[in-house]
Amino acid sequence: MSLINQEITHTYALYNGDCVKVMRDIPGASIDFSVFSPPFADLYCYSDSPNDLGNAKDYREFFTHFGFVVAELARVLKPGRNVSVHCMDIPAMKERDGYIGIKDFSGDLVRAFEREGFIYHSRHIIWKDPLIEATRTKALGLMHKQLQKDSIMSRAGLPDYLLTFRNKGANSVAISHPDGLTRYCGKHDPTKGETGIKRSHNIWRAYASPVWTDIRQTHTLNHKNARDGDDEKHICPLQLDVIERACVLWSNPGEVVLTPFMGVGSEVFGAVINGRRGIGIELKPSYYAQAVRNLVEAANHKNQTDFAFDHDNAAIGNQLQPSKGGFDETLVTANDQAERQP
């Protein structure tokens, strides 16, 4: 495994390296859930590395390389388990693409996963304010002056999506919620002080909604220190509300959550504070370094009970021993052994 650096503890393992190469050392059918936000094809530049998917020469080459990521996810994910992908459709630009329009990035992701045998399972739409998008991107189709001039070019804003895919095969360990959902993550608590199963019903109603209008867009990890000097390249961490909802819905406490595009550590952070164990892989050293700092904060979080941290199941993670080098297989085998106990 080609590694630049690594940080391994009882509850998480962080790797600074190429995600495809690192995943090749992960045992097959050992990951319980995966959640991540991939590079958005050729929309943003993330680093100068030739191994960075964001530096693919064009849209088609991006998906050629991304196919290796999906193939590894199909191998390491347990049968019947899910992977959730955060994305958005991509604006087509006159100077880059020769036309103004929208690329069906979310649809192409669906087709990429289906080619590797995944089942398209779920899609959540994450609402974003079109005024904020217009101010940030200066997109012609969102400008009010374009509406006044000629609305033929006016369009809807671009939401985010959380696409979820199910690996082929049958799931062997149920993800059960005997007490329902107890913690709501978002900005509009729908429970109105209710408790018990009625509270759970209302939380589930919000989570099951195909459109999430209650995601806190600024509820993200610290990323300011992840920039390299004069680096102005794109960095936008995934909202913690999205990660927590996905982890709670599609993994059990004590299980292993993988992100092949870790960035500043958001998905691993969300997994750890919810009593899961996390594996994160990041190519860019400055992002990786910030992820290490953020995960130290997660491990020492003073309000872990506020994040629904399950201390009983977390004890599974405490049985693990840090590795001296290479991929730490104990991180993905301890829980399998626990599952096989009579």
Q: What is the DSSP string of 5-24?
A: EEEE-SSEEEEEE-HHHHHT
- Phi (first) and psi of residue 104, to 5 degrees: -80, 65
| Of the candidates 60, 77, 47, 64, the residue with the CA atom closest to the CA atom of residue 260 | 77
Which tens digit of pLDDT belongs to each residue from 177-227?
999 999 999 998 999 889 999 999 999 999 999 999 999 998 998 755 555
Q: What percentage of the chain has pLDDT greater than the value 70?
A: 78
Greater confidence (303 vs 224) lies with 224
Which tens digit of pLDDT belongs to each residue from 1-26?
578 899 999 999 999 999 999 999 99
What is the reported pLDDT for 53? Answer: 65
Mean pLDDT lowest among 88-97, 160-169, 194-203, 326-335: 326-335
pLDDT at 333 over 70: no
What is the reported pLDDT for 298? Answer: 78
Q: Is 7 exposed, middle or buried (0-12, 13-18, 19+ CB in 10 A)?
A: middle
Greater confidence (168 vs 300) lies with 168
Across the strands, what pairs with 7?
A: 14
Mean pLDDT lowest among 31-40, 80-89, 278-287, 310-319: 310-319
What is the reported pLDDT for 94? Answer: 87
Q: Which residues of 105-140 are buried (b: 16+ CB within 10 A; e: fewer)?
A: bbebbbebbeebebeeebebebebebeebbeeeebb
pLDDT at 337 over 60: no
CA 6 to chain centre: 20
Q: Rounded to whole angstroms, what are the CA distances from 301 to 124, 274, 307?
A: 29, 11, 9
What is the reported pLDDT for 95? Answer: 84
CB atoms closer than 10 angstroms to residue 286? 20
What is the reported pLDDT for 41? Answer: 59
pLDDT at 98 over 60: yes
- Rg (Cα) of the chain, in Å, rounded? 20
Q: Rounded to whole angstroms, what are the CA distances from 282 to 37, 40, 96, 217?
A: 12, 15, 28, 23
Greater confidence (43 vs 241) lies with 241
pLDDT at 113 over 50: yes
pLDDT at 157 over 50: yes
Q: Given pLDDT bands bounded at 50, 70 and 90, which one contains residue 341?
A: very low
pLDDT at 325 over 60: no
pLDDT at 339 over 50: no
Mean pLDDT lowest among 100-114, 286-300, 313-327: 313-327
The answer to whether 336 touches 34, Cβ cutoff 8 Å, is no
Q: Is 285 exposed, middle or buried (0-12, 13-18, 19+ CB in 10 A)?
A: middle
Encoded tokens for 229: 């000097």
C-alpha–C-alpha distance, residues 247 and 255, integer Å: 10
Q: 258 by DSSP, 3-state: which? A: strand
- For 65, residues 6+ apart whose C-beta sits below 8 A from its C-beta are 53, 56
- Phi (first) and psi of residue 19, to 5 degrees: -65, -35
What is the reported pLDDT for 87? Answer: 95
Q: Is 179 exposed, middle or buried (0-12, 13-18, 19+ CB in 10 A)?
A: exposed
pLDDT at 27 over 70: yes
| Of the candidates 300, 333, 283, 299, the residue with the CA atom closest to the CA atom of residue 15 | 283
Which tens digit of pLDDT belongs to each residue from 159-190?
999 999 999 999 999 999 999 999 999 998 99
Q: What is the mean pLDDT of residues 148-162?
A: 96
Q: Rounded to whole angstroms, what are the CA distances from 197 to 52, 178, 248, 305?
A: 46, 10, 16, 20
Domains of the chain: 3-175+215-339 (3.40.50.150)
Mean pLDDT (the chain, rounded):
84
The answer to whether 175 touches 255, Cβ cutoff 8 Å, is no
Which tens digit of pLDDT belongs to each residue from 34-85?
999 998 756 556 556 666 666 667 888 889 999 999 999 999 999 999 999 9
pLDDT at 340 over 50: no
Q: 334 by DSSP, 3-state: which? A: helix
pLDDT at 301 over 70: no
Mean pLDDT lowest among 99-108, 209-218, 322-331: 322-331
C-alpha–C-alpha distance, residues 87 and 113, integer Å: 14
